[in-house]
């Protein structure tokens, strides 16, 4: 488990941040051009043609005005590289030459980190052991297999392929001589622990007479292995054996080859997912450096989100046999639900990517990727293959599979063109198919809350107090001459606070963090209050919020903030609006409680009546309506 931000001292985090230039770090991933005081480029988190992604050297923060993603250098690496905070911190500390002190961790976190570091060193030793075994006489069969696969020595060395000897204790003995205990080897998944008839613990190698594929994390550290059986192995051995789940290895959270493929994915603009280790290695050797493997046939949401850090489109290239096709269908749904555009490469003659490249050449595989078909077309082809479309029931089943996919297409032109073609190939009336699609679209719209009056009107993050937004977006204009809703008022207030610890202290006294209606704003406000109470020193300035939602809210507030001509007047106006929002919310709560008591025939406590009267009187005293526009009259 990776350490969280809370487990590090602020002083150390600030030391790493101060030694890091956010423009330089982001500039390695995004082409930036200076414009005024900030740097601008195309956002790496969504597709755009006009730059809306801004990086501020002064604020040491980034923000995209298009997709509203923002944060600090840690946030950027976590989003772009799929890292957790501790991993991003370690990467930047290594980059700056700053050692990661164990004193910055609590005892439990220190224990986990030491365990992880030990296991990483052990796995690195295992990689070296297996690589050397491949070069020995016992590795002759594994070398012959690699040669038949057409893998060059440079490729074998780059991917650090190895061989597990045909012995029960080859790895156990070799690493034991280097001081590694059997218990540590078992934790690393290299040996299996068992108990003999006398109840004594025994250990034996997990990988025996297998070609070894080390699996690395994003930073190139070994986290596990995949072992392929070779000829002459014991009967009924599984073709592949992977390391078990453990402290450093989780199959569902990693992708084989991503440490080598990241740059290739960025250049290609999309990733290609396949199933096997050799598929990735052969493809990379042939120049297709944007391939990764799923470490199994079942893609997970975590793997899809990992790819979403690098691209917006994925091509699947699983084996063309039946099992591979079913894996493709499952994987496509996972990828689609995560927000990735998906296409399917139709590989010839039941070949996997490795076979395709070796049998037909790299050009044929390249054409298969180039001609990959969208999800809707792949689903239609698969349905047509499985069903007897000469019968009415067969036609109905095919339509049942493709109608939801057609209904999910946003482009009306694309939807219409596919609808006409599918109706023609299926031999049904286009109007009948169109009726089913429109029915499905209405159902999807109801499920997503579309069609309600005002739905989608406010582009405000989830969790915002909708009542306060409704009331305040209809109130009088602010001192800047524009309507100032409560969400925008809170945002401007945070912007003021971030530039002046005195303002932050004043806001803390006036409304406190609970006075903010938006959950992310409350988190940012609490951090700003802590910063102000610490003296407003740069060393603890809260530009380091690990919480993704809060980090974006802080970036949004600071990048959107424009210095007003009269700070004091603006501050008073903003505080009044935030306080009014809190008052309206409490009035609404009290009225609801009273209505519920009246409905049950219970008396209304006098303290509730007094509180409501005080709130209404306070609102009127400030020249504000006791209830917001559209509130129910009683």
Sequence-distant (≥ 6) Cβ neighbours of residue 271 within 8 angstroms: 261, 265, 290, 291, 292, 307, 310, 311, 313, 314, 315
* Closest to 80 measured CA to CA, from 229, 253, 266: 266
Sequence-distant (≥ 6) Cβ neighbours of residue 317 within 8 angstroms: 272, 273, 274, 279, 291, 345, 347, 353, 368, 369, 372
- Look at residue 4 in the predicted model and tell me its pLDDT: 56
* Closest to 406 measured CA to CA, from 448, 450, 444: 444
SS (H, E, C) 546-606: CCHHHHHHHHHHHHHCCCCCCHHHHHHHHHHHHHHHHHHHHHHHHHHHHHHHHHCCCCCCH
Supply the CATH classification number for the domain 466-621. Answer: 1.10.860
How much is the average pLDDT of 190-213? 92
- Look at residue 510 in the predicted model and tell me its pLDDT: 84
Where are the domains positioned within the chain?
5-104, 107-249, 253-371, 380-446, 466-621
- Look at residue 363 in the predicted model and tell me its pLDDT: 95
Between CA 105 and CA 110 the distance in angstroms is: 5
- Look at residue 141 in the predicted model and tell me its pLDDT: 95
Sequence-distant (≥ 6) Cβ neighbours of residue 529 within 8 angstroms: 504, 505, 507, 508, 512, 513
- Look at residue 546 in the predicted model and tell me its pLDDT: 57
Give 5-104's CATH code, choosing from 3.10.129.10, 3.90.580.10, 1.10.3720.10, 3.40.50.970: 3.90.580.10
Instruction: For 488-523, write each residue's pLDDT tens digit.
Output: 888 888 888 887 888 888 888 888 888 887 888 888
Is domain 253-371 annotated with CATH 3.40.1360.10? yes
Residue 90 has pLDDT above 50, yes or no: yes
Question: Residue 103 gets which letter from DSSP?
Answer: G
How much is the average pLDDT of 185-214? 93
Residue 150 has pLDDT above 90, yes or no: yes
Structure token digits, residue 587: 């009035």
Residue 390 has pLDDT above 50, yes or no: yes
Write down the CATH superfamily of domain 107-249. Answer: DNA primase, catalytic core, N-terminal domain (3.90.980.10)
* Closest to 487 measured CA to CA, from 422, 544, 433, 557: 557
Q: How confident is the model at residue 203 (pLDDT cuts 50, 70, 90)?
A: very high
Residue 320 has pLDDT above 70, yes or no: no
Sequence-distant (≥ 6) Cβ neighbours of residue 105 within 8 angstroms: 3, 7, 8, 113
- Look at residue 309 in the predicted model and tell me its pLDDT: 67
Instruction: For 357-385, write each residue's pLDDT tens digit.
Output: 999 999 999 999 999 998 888 888 888 88
* Closest to 283 measured CA to CA, from 162, 149, 134, 375: 149
Using CB atoms within 10 Å of the CB of residue 335, give its burial: 0 to 12 exposed, 13 to 18 middle, 19+ buried: buried
- Look at residue 321 in the predicted model and tell me its pLDDT: 57
Instruction: For 52-80, write each residue's pLDDT tens digit.
Output: 899 887 777 898 888 888 888 888 998 88
Is domain 380-446 annotated with CATH 1.20.50? yes
Kind and range of the H or E run holding 516 = none
Neighbours of 532 (CB within 10 A): 21
Residue 323 has pLDDT above 80, yes or no: no
**Do residues 555 and 62 lie in contact, with contact meaning Cβ atoms separated by under 8 Å?**
yes
How much is the average pLDDT of 464-472? 38
* Closest to 188 measured CA to CA, from 162, 220, 168, 214: 214
Mean pLDDT of the chain: 80
Between CA 247 and CA 113 the distance in angstroms is: 10
How much is the average pLDDT of 395-422? 87
- Look at residue 446 in the predicted model and tell me its pLDDT: 59
| 417 or 298: which leads in pLDDT | 417
Instruction: For 470-480, write each residue's pLDDT tens digit.
Output: 333 434 333 33
Angle 23-29-33 from CA coordinates, rounded to 5°? 50
How much is the average pLDDT of 603-630? 62
3-state helix, strand and coil shares in percent for the chain, rounded to the nearest 5: 55, 10, 35
* Closest to 331 measured CA to CA, from 370, 290, 378, 288: 378
* 3-class secondary-structure state, position 204: strand
Neighbours of 564 (CB within 10 A): 17
Between CA 440 and CA 408 the distance in angstroms is: 9
Residue 539 has pLDDT above 80, yes or no: no
Instruction: For 572-600, write each residue's pLDDT tens digit.
Output: 888 888 877 777 777 777 788 888 888 88
């Amino acid at each position: 488990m990776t350490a969280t931000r809370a487990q590090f001292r602020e002083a150390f985090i600030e030391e790493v941040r101060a030694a890091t230039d956010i423009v330089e770090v982001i500039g390695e991933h995004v082409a930036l051009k200076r414009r005024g005081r900030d740097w601008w480029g195309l956002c790496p988190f969504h597709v755009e043609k006009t730059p809306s992604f801004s990086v501020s050297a002064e604020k040491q923060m980034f923000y995209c005005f298009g997709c509203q993603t923002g944060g600090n250098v840690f946030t950027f690496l976590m989003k772009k590289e799929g890292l957790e905070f501790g991993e991003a911190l370690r990467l930047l500390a290594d980059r700056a030459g700053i050692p990661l002190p164990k004193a910055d961790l609590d005892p439990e976190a220190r224990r986990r980190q030491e365990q992880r570091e030990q296991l990483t060193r052990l796995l690195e030793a295992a990689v070296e052991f297996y690589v050397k075994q491949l070069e020995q006489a016992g590795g002759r069969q594994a070398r012959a297999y690699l040669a038949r696969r057409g893998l060059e020595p440079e490729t074998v060395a780059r991917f650090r392929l190895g061989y597990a000897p045909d012995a029960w204790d080859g790895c156990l003995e070799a690493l034991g001589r280097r001081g590694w205990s059997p218990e540590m080897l078992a934790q690393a998944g290299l040996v299996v622990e068992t108990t003999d008839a006398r109840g004594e613990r025994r250990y034996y190698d997990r990988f025996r007479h297998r070609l070894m594929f080390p699996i690395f994390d994003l930073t190139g550290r070994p986290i596990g292995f995949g072992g392929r059986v070779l000829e002459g192995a014991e009967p009924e051995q599984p073709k592949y054996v992977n390391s078990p789940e453990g402290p450093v290895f989780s199959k569902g959270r990693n992708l084989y080859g991503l440490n080598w493929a990241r740059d290739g994915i960025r250049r290609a603009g999309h990733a290609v997912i396949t199933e096997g280790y050799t598929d990735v290695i052969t493809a990379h050797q042939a120049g297709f450096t944007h391939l990764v493997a799923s470490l199994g046939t079942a893609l997970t949401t975590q793997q899809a989100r990992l790819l979403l850090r690098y691209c917006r489109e994925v091509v699947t290239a699983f084996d063309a046999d039946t099992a591979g096709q079913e894996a493709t269908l499952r994987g496509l749904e996972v990828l689609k639900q995560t927000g990735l555009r998906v296409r399917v490469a139709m590989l010839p003659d039941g070949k996997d990517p490795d076979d395709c490249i070796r049998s037909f050449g790299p050009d044929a595989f390249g054409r298969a990727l180039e001609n990959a078909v969208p999800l809707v077309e792949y689903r239609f082809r698969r349905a047509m293959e499985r069903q007897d479309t000469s019968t009415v029931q067969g036609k109905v089943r095919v339509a049942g599979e493709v109608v939801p996919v057609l209904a999910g297409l946003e482009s009306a032109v694309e939807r219409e063109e596919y609808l006409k073609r599918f109706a023609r190939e299926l031999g049904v009336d286009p109007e009948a198919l169109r009726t089913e699609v429109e029915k499905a679209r209405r159902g999807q719209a109801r499920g997503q809350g579309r069609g309600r009056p005002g739905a989608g009107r406010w582009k405000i993050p989830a969790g915002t107090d909708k009542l306060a937004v409704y009331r305040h977006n209809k109130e009088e204009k602010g001192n800047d001459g524009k309507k100032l809703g409560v969400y925008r008022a809170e945002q401007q207030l945070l912007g003021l606070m971030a530039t002046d610890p005195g303002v932050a202290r004043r806001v803390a006294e006036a409304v406190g963090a609970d006075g903010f209606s938006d959950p992310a704003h409350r988190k940012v406000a609490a951090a700003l209050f802590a910063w102000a109470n610490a003296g407003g020193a740069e060393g603890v300035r809260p530009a380091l919020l690990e919480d993704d939602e809060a980090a974006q809210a802080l970036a949004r507030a600071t990048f959107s903030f424009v210095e007003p001509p009269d700070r004091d007047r603006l501050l008073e106006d903003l505080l009044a609006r935030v306080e009014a929002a809190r008052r309206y919310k409490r009035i609404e709560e009290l009225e609801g409680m009273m209505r519920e008591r009246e409905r049950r025939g219970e008396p209304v406590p006098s303290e509730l009546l007094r509180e409501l009267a005080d709130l209404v009187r306070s609102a009127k005293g400030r020249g504000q309506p006791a209830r917001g526009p559209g509130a129910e009259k009683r």
